[in-house]
A and B are shown apart, each in its own frame.
Chain A
């Protein structure tokens, strides 16, 4: 490496053409994500905001008066911020040890556990609330068991409609986010550093605190940012489990737009929501810029060991037990419920799903709902991953116009910070606002997507691609530039450099991004506010339909459909993970 560096320093600048030096190339790579964002995010957003503020062409500040006059909005804003922050911290606390065992150890059932752990992400909130109540509610399994065991007079665990309940749900939803992103990055860290530290006498804790943790910061902060934004824009979870007293900004936006028909207020709140998140992301991007880059591990595949020492075993067992308790048991409660009829175990609900009971013109066999969900899921995933890879390449290759320097990694231009933050905005924007924006913009050819099927994967991809960027970018930035330089010097064109150097290294991160893009689509994040073509329902839509009418059969079928959703998603994850097995050139 040292020899190469010396050699490279002496070479003239234009001897090497690569993404890093070729401005035109950089921007053309970014063009597709940029157009996508402009068409499907900025254009509708700006139009709906303008329409809201100037309905008949005139500015009407009267409706906004309450915003500054009433303390209510400050309180809502404050609540939204602190619950998101607390949720993030708690999730980090529990998920980092989990990330550790996934990064370091291989054990029986690891892949299955990893797939099952991500399933909560796709479940509709009403269903998750039902599962949690079935377990931890006042009349849930745990309380019943405790009352019986200790002959208590009243259920000891009272979580319903409290802050703790929805915090728990947030951890449930976001645990796998942190585990997947951080563990994939962790596995790629150079183990030699750790060994060197230990050899020099550092205790395991010291090694962790002073070597590993700083090196992990890019991935940890990336994942934490995502968790924060998700919790910030939370709608159903907080309301159903915490109770209607806990309204986030997202809820208020919906209220203002739909209930009060006060579009200026809704738009103003949306802008505030966006502004806060933009600020956060900008600060994050600036801090990230200053972080030291870690030394790159030569073994891309990462090395996992079987747990050997008592410490190893303790870590694995403790974390697996925790995951099973928190993440798997609510899912099992759901599955169990789908098989429990009036007289014990039954398949009635499943068979009901497959018979044309309803005769409704909207009735679609569950197989079709599965097919629709999976079809949209893969479509959105491919779109999100492609856009994400392109955008990440652009963001990672910014040299900031500084003089050529092998150690450039510390110097990134501030324009990247802004683009980085801008790309994340779709995640932080209210679905209601965006949905209304689509109504007034995508209404004429060539953009008449407003009631077309294509809007579904597009809307999903819009939310998913910033996600993919967050997964890939830390790892992409880790690649030493000298590696790319070496390839160029040996005659590789920029695209070859990318395909042969960058892509194999970030392959694992791409898969993490793909998994989440798929699950965002399966879980219908945000797109449910938009117009749907009801003849192509997806599984969450079908579940909602069942939960809209009284009756055992409806509830049972909702649980059965939820179970099918869980199984399909799990299989989808497994399939995607299989892509990792093939084409592993560097093993």
Chain B
């Protein structure tokens, strides 16, 4: 017989045997957390929980926040996990409306500021928050002798022509957050006017955060846009991940009043989970100081627990907005489609 065939046959047998064993179950109890692709946590922190409770924590990463939530909703009759982390305030109403979480009045909520607790029934509990805002390249503005923008309204001024890159809200979470910031700041009647002016001022619309930041932002690429929509925590991240640690952050964030959009991320226990007690313990754990203090350097967002200490790099290079733009979650869910359509009509058609 042909040597090739024999090899193929052997491999086929091996592969079919492997495929006949789906989902090998693990010895001991397992707790499953379903989340989005950007979730990160330290090994030691999780190991601590696993040891204390004699359980293995499994993670399921399911795409971006929106896609993961849709998957959780689709599987609600037969949930894939015990907990879901990653619902943010823009998808808040969708998650509540789908009725897939069960309430839990965690004692740890006492340490969390009231303005983060969007759900009075505690089906969704806040874990972290971040601000989507403009970032600018300090060196670029210094060289040109131009004052960097301090407000969203600056971007439509003639001296800032062709300097900004934003993301398409239809395909990007920070893009959506930025759109909501303009809606919250200028109001539903005037925000399109602002965007028309932005368009006239040659704003560049990129597909996603990576594309905007690593493709067009002057501080991170050979692009020519010194102003990008990113996070208030991007400057410390740029310092943390720099090749040689700089004294000052190379970029800065515009977090003045009414110019940043707050994104809060929530965790919830999925209805139908078979490990409810354990899930509750995990929620408490996620809101406790060890986990919360681990969050900044793993996910580059701020911990919700006000008692959690921030790492040095955050204190030095980052600032959270005192007065971020807020838009009612119910309004977001109801008008999302309309706003996206209107925006697309103005900007892309």
Contacts and interface: CB of A to CB of B under 8 A. Distances in A.
A554 B241 contact: yes
A580 B238 CA distance: 49
Contacts of A535: 59
A342 B243 contact: yes
B224 interface: yes
A259 B66 contact: yes
Given A439-B80, A449-B22, A553 B205 contact: no
A529 B8 contact: no
Interface in B113-139: none
Contacts of B241: 549-554
Nearest to B300: A549
A360 B40 contact: yes
A37 to B, nearest CB: 15
A6 interface: no
Contacts of A112: none
A544 B300 CA distance: 16
A261 B70 contact: yes
Interface stretch (A132-140, A267-275, A282-290, A414-422): A132-140
Output the residue of B44, B170, B237 with the most chain A CB within 10 A: B170
A360 B80 contact: no
Contacts of A342: 243-244
Contacts of B205: 243-245
B37 A544 contact: yes
A260 interface: yes
Contact of B38 (A245, A439, A548): A548
Interface in B309-324: none
B222 A378 contact: no
A259 B170 contact: yes
Contacts of B59: 361-362, 534-535
Interface string A440-453: 10011001111110
Interface string B330-349: 00000011001000000011
B2 A503 contact: yes
A236 B64 CA distance: 15
B189 interface: no
B215 interface: yes
Interface string B1-39: 111110110011001001101111000000000000110
Contacts of A258: 64, 66-67, 70
A448 B22 CA distance: 7
A348 B59 CA distance: 30
Nearest to B90: A259
Interface stretch (B71-79, B142-150, B282-290): B71-79
A257 B68 CA distance: 11
A262 interface: yes
A554 B224 CA distance: 20
B70 A257 contact: yes
Contact of B11 (A139, A378, A529, A534): A378
Interface string A145-181: 0000000000000000100000000000000000000
Contacts of A554: 241
Nearest to A254: B171
Contact of A583 (B3, B12, B237): B3
A507 interface: yes
A440 B210 contact: no
B74 A439 contact: yes
A443 B243 contact: no
A556 interface: yes
A550 B220 contact: yes
Interface in A368-421: 378-379, 382-383, 385-386
| Interface size range of chain A in the complex | 35 or more
B8 A385 contact: yes
B243 A553 contact: yes
A552 B243 contact: yes
B349 A255 contact: no
A290 B110 CA distance: 76
A19 interface: no
A474 to B, nearest CB: 20
Contacts of A207: none
Output the residue of A361, A363, A504 with the most chain B CB within 10 A: A361
B63 A529 contact: yes
Output the residue of A359, A550, A585 with the most chain B CB within 10 A: A550
Output the residue of B7, B70, B234 with the most chain A CB within 10 A: B70
A276 interface: no
A587 B299 CA distance: 59
Interface string A545-575: 1011111111110000000000000000000
A339 B19 CA distance: 40
Contacts, number: 206
Contact of B223 (A139, A458, A499): A139
Contact of A436 (B41, B71, B80, B237): B71
A244 B171 contact: yes
A450 B2 contact: no
Contacts of B18: 379, 454
Contacts of B37: 544-545, 548
B201 interface: no
A58 interface: no
A103 to B, nearest CB: 22
Interface in A471-511: 499, 503-504, 507
A450 to B, nearest CB: 7
A31 interface: no
A133 B23 CA distance: 42
Contacts of A320: none
Nearest to B205: A244
Nearest to B94: A261
A255 B61 contact: no
A348 B243 CA distance: 8
Given A443-B78, A443-B80, A529-B67, A547 B7 contact: no
B242 interface: yes
Interface in B198-248: 204-211, 213-215, 220-224, 230, 234, 237-238, 240-244
Interface string B291-304: 00000001010000
B215 A133 contact: yes
Given A244-B207, A550-B234, A359 B42 contact: yes
B214 A386 contact: no
Given A260-B336, A439-B80, A449-B23, A129 B211 contact: yes
Interface string B164-194: 0000101100001000000000000000000
A2 interface: no
A451 B23 contact: yes
Contacts of A450: 75, 80
B80 A531 contact: yes
A126 interface: yes
B51 interface: no
Contacts of A556: 243
B108 interface: no
Nearest to B169: A259
Nearest to B64: A258
10 contacts: A133-B221, A244-B168, A259-B66, A360-B41, A382-B11, A436-B71, A439-B75, A443-B78, A452-B22, A528-B63
Given A138-B224, A503-B2, A553-B242, 8 more contacts: A130-B214, A261-B70, A342-B244, A451-B60, A531-B80, A548-B210, A550-B230, A552-B220
Interface of A: 51, 126, 129-130, 133-134, 137-140, 161, 236, 239-240, 243-245, 251, 254-255, 257-262, 341-342, 348, 358-363, 378-379, 382-383, 385-386, 432, 435-436, 439-440, 443-444, 447-452, 454, 457-458, 499, 503-504, 507, 528-529, 531-535, 544-545, 547-556, 579, 582-583, 585
Across the A-B interface, the 6 shortest Cβ-Cβ residue pairs: A551-B241, A583-B3, A244-B168, A258-B66, A452-B23, A452-B22
Interface of B: 1-5, 7-8, 11-12, 15, 18-19, 21-24, 37-38, 40-46, 59-64, 66-67, 70-71, 74-75, 78, 80, 94, 168, 170-171, 176, 204-211, 213-215, 220-224, 230, 234, 237-238, 240-244, 251, 298, 300, 336-337, 340, 348-349
